[in-house]
Amino acid sequence: MIPFGHQPLLVVTSPDKGYKTLGDLIAAAKAKPGTMNYSSAGVGSASHFGAERLRVSAGFDAQHIPTKGAVEAATEILSGRVAFSVSTSSTTLLLIQEGKLVVLAVSGLKRSAVVPNVPTTVETGLRADSVYPFYSALYLPAKTPREVVEKPHREVAKALQAPAVQERFAKLGIEPMPMDVEQFGKFFRDDAASNAALVKAANLPTQ
């Protein structure tokens, strides 16, 4: 397992909904149980799990509206058919800059450079379990010899230092993950365990 980078998910909504803060959205959901909904890029996607982690942590109900991808999930918000989504910055940043979407919070342990004035979910008063890490990595078979793993790991680490890569990552809000093989292995196992706990807590279907 060789990490590339991670980017925070953004809690986005339509300005037409009138939510100025994440607290406004949560209060609306609690005031009228069963009326809130959210879109995602599909069942089991990062946007699905990100929204469920937010929902469970904040303690409100919301209907999941899965779509065929991140772009369609954003379209559902723009149309007014859903209230919010927890999406990647690379998918929603242009819509945010054009004023078509509003960011209520960042699902990360720290603020994002692409929306520096937007608070994290923790800063809004939620627990750390409201955060969902979204990352990308290169995966190899479990029994791949260590020397085979080390070579691409070195090459990826070198590529992440390239100015062009760093510039592109910065524009998308992606931060490199400078971890060695063991560090990322532990990170991955912890994340898998956390997702398993989320499936149980949110009572998500497993098939």
Q: Per the structure, how many domains does the chain have?
A: 1
CATH number at residue 110: 3.40.190.10
Domain annotation covers residue 1: no
Quote the domain boundaries for residue 69.
8-132
Domain annotation covers residue 138: no
Nearest to 36 by CA among 46, 45, 26, 44: 26
Report the predicted TM-score, pTM, of the whole model to 2 decimal places: 0.86
- Residue 195 pLDDT: 82
Classify residue 119 by its DSSP letter. P
| β partners of residue 12 | 85, 103
Domain annotation covers residue 65: yes
Domain annotation covers residue 143: no
Domain annotation covers residue 198: no
Domain annotation covers residue 141: no
Per-residue pLDDT of the chain (207 residues; tens, 9 = 90+): 688 888 889 999 999 999 999 999 999 999 999 899 999 999 989 999 999 999 999 999 999 999 999 999 999 999 999 999 999 888 898 999 999 999 999 998 889 888 999 999 999 999 988 998 888 888 888 888 888 888 888 888 888 888 998 888 888 778 888 888 888 888 888 888 888 888 888 777 655
